[in-house]
Structure 1
Amino acid sequence: MGLLDGRVVIITGAGRGIGREHALLMASEGAKIVVNDLGGGVDGSGEDTGPAEETAQEIRDMGGEAVANNDSVTDWEGAQRMVNAAVEAFGDLHVLVNNAGILRDRVVVNMTEGEWDAVIDVHMKGHFCPTRWAAAYWREQTKAGVEVDAAIINTASGAMLGNLGQLNYSGAKAGIAAMTLVGAGELARYGVRVNCLAPIARTRMTLQTPGLEEVVAAPEDPSDFDLYDPANISPLVGYLATEGCPFTGGVFHIGGNEVGLYGGWSLADENILATDGRWTVGDLQDKAPRLLDGRSNLASVTTSIGDTFKGFGKREPTE
């Protein structure tokens, strides 16, 4: 008996990389999988039905149940077809894993409108469209008296904290984290939990990020633990998809041998200044610099996504 026996799962971008690992692990735990993948390149160009069907066949070959779907996550009607495909193939839907994504890296002064639009479209609209139709399905189930125990698992990135050369990608990933918080609040009434991953792994996208190819390379000794193996991410997805999982509204750091929970955006009392009535420009010029006491200017906080990797994989195991 697997921990996901009978759970019906849609995974977007599941033809390759992290999404494929999610599909294989969840199927091994008994889930029935809709493998969605448009089959495009890292930059979103092109289409290929092969990757989705190959992953679905791999699941069937190991004795699992899976169907392939090639709809674009940014296609409103295509996202509805995804949900319908799950219900038609397996009779229900319990979990949506929003994983699909692309890169169009460029410093802001050189970024084109098309590069901005493509990344925002695939990541943010590509999370919204499947979420909207899955949520509508679960709302109707709830109205019909069905006790829903469902989960949406989104995919952000450490880049949501800011990474130079990725204005579009960082903005999209921060937006996905915010969408997670709102979704968790709105969908709780329908029995739906919404969480988010910020994974660290070796993928087609990380291999194309400047400075990361050597960092995330597989160890030369195959007996060594591979910190950046994308398969390291999937157990958390499996856990968040289980019935009765207590988490919702969480944004999780996950990679290698580590799992953590981001503290979220916060505004501590000690970081607030007050005055009598309205501030003046002069008063702010005099007092606002105190807000920088003990901290760097925002623009210098993150200079490279490599900062995310400091200390990664070096922590002692938790007892």
Structure 2
Amino acid sequence: MKKMTFIHSAKKMTIACSILAASVSFGASAFAFSDLKGDPAETKINALHKDGIINGVTSDKFAPKSSVTFAQGIQFIVSGLKLSPKPDAGSTGTVSSYFPHVNDKAWYASAFLTAKQNGLPLDKNVDPNAAMSRAQFAHLLAEALKTKGNFPVTMMFFNITDGDKLSKDVMNNLQMLLNTHLVQLDKNGNFQPNDPVTRSQAAAWIYDTAQFAKNIEAPDDSANAPGYNYETDINVTKAAEGVNKVTLTVNNLPNPGYGLVIEKIEFGKDKTATIYFNVTDPEPGKMYPQVITKGSAVTFLPEGYTAVAKSVKGTSSPAPGIK
């Protein structure tokens, strides 16, 4: 599998700085862009413009099909997800001390520094005028989303037809974005990871991700309520490149009528994936042999996460073996 970098897979663009600045400067106008008719992201773009997140390349043109540069893309992500400067995070120097090709006085300089302080994995030699690929933008967007806190998501594995073009880290983040419905594959299961991300696509992803971030909630208090101490086993095996299959088993259930359901998965910043499960009761009116049995359920996790099982009625169990 080829490892993607933020420099070699990017196409160079020559866009005047004044146009770049106009594309992401703050301040919204009262009218809609004139070149968005029929664009699927028209409503979302206008909403972001109204909120002062993005502007057009001119006063009335958005250029939805134009490619997004790193300068624009980083500003989109930092502004759209409201990332805050964190000088106490150790990134207190000038932006050019971290990214030599970023001018300290450029309109996008503060966005790059904020991205650095929030842990976004930008290549040191990133060219702010280079076009961002769809995979690069999605990867950084997912990393920005993770800074908003833990959030539950039930993971299923998406077979990405052109997934062999993705690095492990990008694949993990893309699986998360697909499971949260923040990005989609085409009808053939392709993501076109190396294609430049357009301004329309980037704006739509920013809008949806920002809305998702607003709704991030802490786990239900019932997950921490006292209850049954189930005996659980977690078996982790490699399912595909960058993806692990997790089989959760609850032992010593009273009879075969009891079942097991995975309610949600919460991904922590410490690379822990907490699998919340519930043991379902037997169907009323049915007779079951009174024999001790087991219940199992399967889910999928990005490679690198440690699985922990937790009943919504209490108990937890760390996963041995593969991470």
Max Rg structure: 2
Q: Same fold (TM over 0.5)?
A: no
Q: Which has the higher contact order (CA 8 A, sep 6+)?
A: 2
**TM-score scaled by length of structure 2:** 0.26
Between Structure 1 and Structure 2, the one with more helix by share is 1
